[in-house]
Amino acid sequence: QITLTQQAESLWISPGERVSITCRASQSLLYTDGNHYLSWYQQRPGQTTKALIYHASVRTDGVPTRFIGSGSGTEFTLSIEHVQPEDFAIYYCLQTLKSPYTFGAGTKLELK
Which of 48, 65, 85, 112 forms a contact with other proteins (CB under 8 A)? 48
Q: Is residue 99 involved in binding other proteins (CB under 8 A)?
A: yes
Contacts of 62 (CB under 8 A, 6+ apart): none
Choosing from 19, 21, 25, 37, the residue that interacts with other proteins (CB under 8 A) is 37
Cis peptide before 100 (omega within 30 of 0): yes
**Residue 46: CB atoms within 10 Å:** 4
Footprint on this chain of other proteins (rule: CB under 8 A)? 35, 37, 39, 41, 48-51, 54-55, 60, 90, 92, 94, 96, 99-103, 105-106, 108
